[in-house]
Amino acid sequence: MTEITGLRVLVVCVCLAARINGQVKPQPEQVHLSATGNVTEMIVTWSTFEDTPSMVQFGTTKPDQNATGSSTKFVDGGVLKRAQLIHRVKLTGLTPGTKYVYRCGSDEGWSPLFFFSALKDGTDWTPRLALYGDMGNVNAQSLGRLQVAAQGGEYDAILHVGDFAYDLDSDNGTVGDEFMRQIESVAAYVPYMTVVGNHEYAYNFSHYKNRFTMPSYDSNQNLWYSWNIGPVHFVIFSTEVYFFTEDSKQTKVNQLKWLEEDLKEANDLKNRTERPWIITLGHRPMYCSDIAGDCTKRVSIVRAALEDLFYKYGVDMEIWAHEHNYERLWPVYREKVYNGSKDAPYTNPKAPVHIITGSAGCRDRHGIFFLPKPWDAFRAIDYGFTLMQVINKTHLAWQQISDDKHGEVIDKVMLIKDKHGPEAWL
């Protein structure tokens, strides 16, 4: 073998090794689902590291239908400028409540066969939801239990309330890639709906904006949106516009305008009758009893910006994360507790109910509680996540699952509301 021929063989071997080691490969990975708000649709999102067609094959018994979409090139802001293609395909014509199998990719490489159930139609059913924030690539302690339940059909959707991977941009984006591969075990089976958190701030939140596909992707790249499921109107927004200055002034104005318009529309008599539950999700809480954070301040930035607005439009429940623990509050407004009654505090309360669910598990471990506040009802540092069942238009149940205690329910409450909207506070 000549020296030149040997060099050519070496180059070919290096190139093949690079493909095998994952530097360049066409196989789809990081597959995840998201809802659009239309129960006959589902969006499939995934990544490849070279340009390939964007196709999904799907069907009720075998993947015998084809759907096509498009891809966008995403370049990480780190020094290596690592690039990947993020593919999006919208499945349409789904039958509500029906189970489908699917795979994504192209003849250049297909994903494994996954499955999901299209969301049910109407408002007369009981959505089952898992909620948590602050789950990292390292110490994602709750993931195994979530995987078993998601693949077992126990959830209709998952809501991740900010802070992913720790962080999506770390190590030139490779930590984000690994995290997205990890959550594929749940996110490829149920809609994985997201909220932006402070750990997504790098490069003006570019990883969060590019990696996910929420109902607002085309308009503001996932930062805020609303979404209906059963008798619930979810309102998802960014608390980070109040803390990061890059592009935040106009973004803050735009979000506030959108929030008021969305809440006003949700309170239209017809809309509030059909979907009486209004639940907001934002990353940094208004109230908490941790040793540090905006939520411990006498004048919280988030509380000052949004508490009166949410009260004005009769928001029933406010879900938060950021603090690495679980905390349930009494119904509270302007630091005053408004329980329904002494014996039944969550029956017809006169203020919104706040829940902090940031204990899914991450490298920063547990949060540390300080002295309890007057609005504290229950708190725990166990790793775990929240389950919510919206039973009907008047009853909503939630449980806190402890992964430390092998799936034990450590907190369980029923919220009962005979009235919704601002008149419920009277």
Which is more confident, 104 or 23?
A: 104
Tokens of 103: 């795979």
> Is the pLDDT at 93 greater than 80, yes or no?
yes
Which is more confident, 104 or 251?
A: 104
Closest CA relative to residue 132, chosen from 298, 360, 313? 360
**For 331-380, how does the pLDDT look when each residue is reduced to its tens digit (9 = 90+)?**
999 999 999 999 999 999 999 999 999 999 988 888 788 888 999 999 99
Rounded CA-CA distance 95/163 in Å is 33
> Is the pLDDT at 206 greater than 70, yes or no?
yes
> Is the distance from CB of 157 to CB of 389 less than 8 angstroms?
no
**For 376-409, how does the pLDDT look when each residue is reduced to its tens digit (9 = 90+)?**
999 999 999 999 999 999 999 999 999 999 999 9
- Confidence bin at 290 (pLDDT 50/70/90): confident
> Is the distance from CB of 352 to CB of 318 less than 8 angstroms?
yes
> Is the pLDDT at 22 greater than 90, yes or no?
no
**For 29-87, how does the pLDDT look when each residue is reduced to its tens digit (9 = 90+)?**
999 999 999 999 999 999 999 999 999 999 999 999 999 999 999 999 999 999 999 99
> Is the pLDDT at 312 greater than 90, yes or no?
yes
> Is the pLDDT at 264 greater than 70, yes or no?
yes
Rounded CA-CA distance 422/52 in Å is 51
For 315, the 3-state DSSP assignment is coil
Mean residue pLDDT across the chain:
92
- What is the pLDDT, as a whole number, of residue 113? 98
Query: Counting beta carbons within 10 angstroms of the beta carbon of residue 307, is it exposed (0 to 12), middle (13 to 18) or buried (19 or more)?
Result: buried
- What is the pLDDT, as a whole number, of residue 14? 38
Rounded CA-CA distance 214/244 in Å is 22
Q: What is the pTM of this model?
A: 0.92
- Confidence bin at 172 (pLDDT 50/70/90): very high
- Confidence bin at 415 (pLDDT 50/70/90): very high
- What is the pLDDT, as a whole number, of residue 158? 98
- What is the pLDDT, as a whole number, of residue 291? 80
- What is the pLDDT, as a whole number, of residue 247? 66
- What is the pLDDT, as a whole number, of residue 7? 40
> Pseudo-torsion of CA 286, 202, 291, 311, nearest 10°?
0
- What is the pLDDT, as a whole number, of residue 250? 80
- Confidence bin at 192 (pLDDT 50/70/90): very high
